[in-house]
């Protein structure tokens, strides 16, 4: 995972915590760890998958993730790169991510997720997320 410096907008501690959330999403996907992934979400979170499936609440996200993640990364790796962070309020951030799935033959599939995160009890959590596949990387 690589990142860009957003120090002008986000303080260093919050930026590092946001980076860690994104890094944990990457780790959980690459290692097919649904519970690690789910621990990042608020209970009432919204997630829209790359295929457009809308999931409301951590329980629905859990059901979906436990169905697709084990085995879903077979022969794939994924990387996440933070492209932009917009601090909406001191405790709410919109995080734009470049996601690249790589197959063993070298082909890639690019996505451009948006993670809206909220800071609660000192911890950044995924709150409203949209995962969008890009037909061609720009």
pLDDT tens by residue, 44-74: 999 999 889 999 999 999 999 999 988 888 8
Distances (CA, A) of 33 to 1, 18, 27, 105: 18, 19, 8, 24
Supply the pLDDT for residue 7.
47
**Residues whose CB falls within 8 Å of the CB of residue 46, separated by 6 or more in sequence, listed in order:** 54, 55, 56, 127, 128, 129
Supply the pLDDT for residue 136.
62
Low-confidence ranges of the chain (pLDDT < 70): 1-9, 136-138
Supply the pLDDT for residue 5.
46
Supply the pLDDT for residue 9.
63
Supply the pLDDT for residue 8.
55
Supply the pLDDT for residue 47.
96
């Amino acid at each position: 995972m690589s990142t860009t410096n957003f120090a002008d907008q986000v303080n260093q501690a919050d930026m590092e915590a946001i980076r860690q959330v994104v890094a944990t999403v990457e780790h959980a996907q690459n290692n097919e760890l649904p519970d690690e992934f789910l621990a990042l979400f608020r209970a009432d979170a919204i997630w829209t998958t790359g295929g457009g499936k809308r999931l409301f609440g951590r329980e629905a996200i859990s059901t979906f993730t436990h169905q697709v993640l084990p085995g879903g990364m077979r022969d794939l790796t994924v990387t996440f790169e933070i492209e932009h962070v917009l601090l909406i309020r001191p405790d709410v951030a919109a995080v734009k991510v470049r996601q690249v799935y790589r197959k063993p033959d070298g082909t890639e599939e690019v996505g451009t997720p948006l993670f809206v995160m909220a800071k609660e009890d000192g911890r950044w959590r995924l709150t409203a997320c949209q995962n969008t596949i890009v037909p061609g990387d720009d």
